[in-house]
């Protein structure tokens, strides 16, 4: 699957005439208000990581299971030239980034788009698709849902806290949140950045989107993605779980309005039970073998006996 996905990515991308960089033209990233754009940062970054991951897996396979690797190469007619081309595409992938500001540009030319203050839009204009023409929606820097910020959630540990803060504070005011995909991702990053009240407000937005008809379109159907994202919000947001590194990690926080919360996750054959009550964080292996993980940046071997830690003041909402 990885090989065939890389073949598609290689066939869909093109080389820029002036930049000499590889990228994707006439695409739409996660944000549905910016259509047919060039070099969407999310799209290019994800493609680059897919190339890199595939090449890494193939290298491991050629070393660990050489016979299976040779069979795969033969079956899929995979050549060294093809692998070299993927390596070059990954190396020369265009990632729109402004070194002076530390901002990742959502796509080529995004920073030059006319600005609109989303808070100035009358509530009676929502949902915008029913009241604005498409060209009015798409001709400014307003975004519907997280795009660069979605990238920073999925590849969280590849970005510094400062990078996440700079980009969050730039893109959040430009997001109209007219999508059930939007509030939970913003809440997760807000919790990570210590913006506890903001994180809780976005969580409430996500969980009550249909109950309170926030986007004035519940009559068209329930926002199931927002319901699923509410789980992400608890586990990755307030629970502070990150699973994109070598070790599972937790940086739990607790909203002021809550007395506590808990959840379970499966990890490397173990079921981890985690609870936060007041200023105390408790973790244990409910079933399965001991596992290595990190809590507030400190590594622990977690077993059935469990851990009981005090929550640092900075994580208390």
The gap between the terminal CA atoms of the chain, to the nearest Å, is 43
pLDDT in tens, 223-267: 787 788 889 999 999 999 999 989 999 999 999 999 999 999 999
pTM of the shown model: 0.93
**pLDDT (average), residues 285-308:** 96
213 versus 247: the higher-pLDDT residue is 247
pLDDT at 215 over 80: no
Stretch 291-316: mean pLDDT, rounded?
A: 94
Predicted pLDDT of residue 230: 87
pLDDT (tens digit, 9 = 90+) per residue, 162-205?
Answer: 999 999 999 999 999 988 889 999 999 999 999 999 999 999 98
List the domain boundaries for the chain: 2-94, 98-238, 248-315
Structure tokens at 56: 């890494």
Catalytic residues, by residue number, are 32
Angle, vertex CA 158, rays to CA 40 and CA 264, nearest 5 = 105
Compute the distance between CA of residue 84 and CA of residue 58 in angstroms, rounded to an integer. Answer: 12
Give residue 263's pLDDT. Answer: 96
Answer yes or no: CATH 3.30.70.890 is held by domain 248-315. no
Q: Which CATH number is correct for 98-238, 1.50.10.10, 3.30.390.50, 3.40.50.280, 2.60.40.10? A: 1.50.10.10
What is the torsion angle, in degrees rounded to the nearest 10, for the CA atoms of residue 121, residue 108, residue 157 and residue 263?
A: 40
Q: Which residues pair with 300 in a beta bridge?
A: 293
Task: Please indicate whether residue 279 or residue 162 has the higher confidence score (pLDDT).
Answer: 162
pLDDT confidence of residue 60: 98
Sheet architecture: strand order including 307-310? 260-267, 270-277, 280-287, 307-310
- Exposed, middle or buried: residue 26 (CB in 10 Å: 0-12, 13-18, 19+)? exposed
Tens digit of pLDDT for each residue in 33-73? 999 999 999 999 999 999 999 999 999 999 999 999 999 99
Burial (Cβ within 10 Å: 0-12, 13-18, ≥19) of residue 173: exposed
């Amino acid at each position: 699957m990885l090989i065939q996905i890389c073949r598609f990515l290689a066939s869909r991308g093109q080389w820029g005439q002036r930049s000499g960089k590889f990228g994707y033209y006439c695409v739409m990233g996660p944000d549905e208000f910016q259509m047919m754009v060039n070099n969407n940062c999310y799209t290019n970054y994800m493609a680059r990581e897919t190339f890199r991951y595939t090449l890494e897996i193939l290298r491991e396979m050629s070393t660990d299971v050489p016979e299976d690797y040779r069979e795969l190469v033969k079956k899929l007619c995979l050549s060294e030239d093809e692998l070299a081309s993927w390596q070059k595409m990954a190396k020369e992938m265009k990632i729109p980034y402004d070194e002076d500001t530390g901002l990742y540009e959502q796509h080529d030319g995004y920073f030059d788009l006319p600005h609109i203050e989303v808070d100035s839009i009358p509530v009676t204009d929502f949902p915008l698709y029913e009241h604005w023409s498409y060209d009015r929606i798409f001709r400014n820097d307003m975004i519907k849902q997280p795009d660069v910020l979605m990238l920073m959630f999925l590849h969280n540990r590849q970005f510094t806290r400062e990078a996440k803060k700079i980009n969050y504070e730039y893109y959040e005011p430009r997001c109209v949140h007219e999508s059930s995909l939007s509030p939970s991702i913003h809440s997760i990053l807000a919790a990570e950045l210590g913006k506890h009240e903001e994180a809780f407000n976005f969580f409430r937005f996500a969980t009550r989107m249909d109950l309170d008809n926030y986007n004035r379109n519940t009559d068209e159907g329930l926002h199931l993605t927002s319901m699923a994202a509410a789980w992400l919000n608890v586990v990755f947001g307030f629970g502070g779980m990150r699973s994109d590194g070598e070790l599972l990690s937790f940086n739990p926080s607790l909203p002021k309005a809550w007395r506590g919360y808990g959840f379970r996750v499966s990890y490397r054959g173990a079921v981890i039970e985690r609870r936060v009550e007041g200023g105390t964080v408790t973790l244990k292996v409910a079933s399965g073998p001991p596992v290595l993980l990190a809590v507030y940046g400190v590594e622990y071997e977690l077993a059935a006996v469990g851990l009981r830690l005090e929550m640092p003041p900075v994580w208390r909402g």
